[in-house]
Amino acid sequence: MAPAALPDPSRLLPELLGVLMPMFLWLDASGRVQAAGPTLRKVCGRALRPGVSLFDLIEITRPQRMTGMADLRAHGLRRLHLALRARPRTGLRGIAVPLGPEVGPDVGPEQEGGVLLNLSFGLTVAEAVRDHALTDSDFAPTDLTVEMLYLIEAKSAVMGELRGLNLRLERAHRSAVAEALTDPLTGLANRRALELALESAVQSGGRDEAAPFALVHLDLDFFKQVNDTHGHAAGDAVLTEVARILQAETRKHDLVARVGGDEFVLVLRGMTDPAAIEALGRRIIARLEAPMPVGSGIATISGSLGVVLSVDYPVPAPERMLADADRALYASKHRGRAGVTVLRVESGI
């Protein structure tokens, strides 16, 4: 049963009605627009003109199959879902109030049985504000939409700041971790990074696994003379150049660490051929022995290397392997320096 008709709002000036309901449509009995609220006029533009049919201006999406004023009047006082036909097809919500005929000199036959339709944006309000450049003055004084939009924008801004802060904290954390694992002079891994790499390599690189590795301990020869002759700044320059050479001679997935003043350790993943490792060591020594310009002078150094292989250990242990690599290193030094010694654990040096 259709709801009781309400009196015609014609005695209320459209300007005043627009203050209370800035998105109203006053329709006559045939569904043609007699007056409209200022915000709706702003949103619809030229499409909204006196006498235009409601159904040419707006599509009623729910309930479906509402094609005439009789349907609209029958659905009065219940929620409607609508959309503007013109792009960007702004979504709307509304309620239709049937207007009954009144007797009086101001009421013409074209006003009898009309409908007062009050509209709002509903969940599409943010898009509507953006698409139609709406401001606070486009909403009723009692409408909290703008305040809600401000709160949403403030929340978005805060969330953006929090995301930015989290990213900065994450970057700072990564930077701190990297600094904690990096030698500040050379940019190589430090002793702590070496320990972590060896723990990982041992867990996945034992005798029966598919990821064996070689451990190489390098100690520079004649480095003390560089410091004594040219000064510590020259020594730092030499160490930096040594780091560059070691990185150039190894692969990206290998680890090069500086573990002491002039001591370096290499973890060569997947390398177990003593001949290939010895050839690599000789290339490194040859590059180390090339004269290095330092300030106004020339530094001359060399290097001694000791090597052990993870496959020679029933259960590889970092401490044992480092100790054995150190033994192999000093075997190279005792043999006259500038050499490579590969220690095969089962047979000794």
Q: Which two tokens stand for residue 283?
A: 């290339």
C-alpha distances in Å from residue 182, one per residue of 171, 187, 206: 16, 6, 26
Pairing, β 263-269 against β 255-258: antiparallel
Using CA atoms, how far apart are residues 295 and 344, in angstroms rounded to an integer? 42
Using CA atoms, how far apart are residues 14 and 213, in angstroms rounded to an integer? 87
Give the residue from 199, 196, 203, 305 showing the smallest Cα distance to 245. 305
Is 254 among the residues known to form the active site? no
C-alpha distances in Å from residue 284, one per residue of 2, 248, 280, 287: 96, 9, 6, 5
Q: Is 345 helix (H, G, I), strand (E, B) or coil?
A: coil
Q: Which two tokens stand for residue 114?
A: 């009309």
CB 214 within 8 A of CB 308: yes
Catalytic residue, candidates 262, 273, 324, 326? 262
Using CA atoms, how far apart are residues 282 and 340, in angstroms rounded to an integer? 7
CB 284 within 8 A of CB 305: yes
Q: Greatest CA span in the chain, whole angstroms?
A: 124
Cβ neighbors of 11 (< 8 A, separation 6 or more) are 106
CB 189 within 8 A of CB 255: yes
What amino acid positions are annotated as catalytic residues? 262
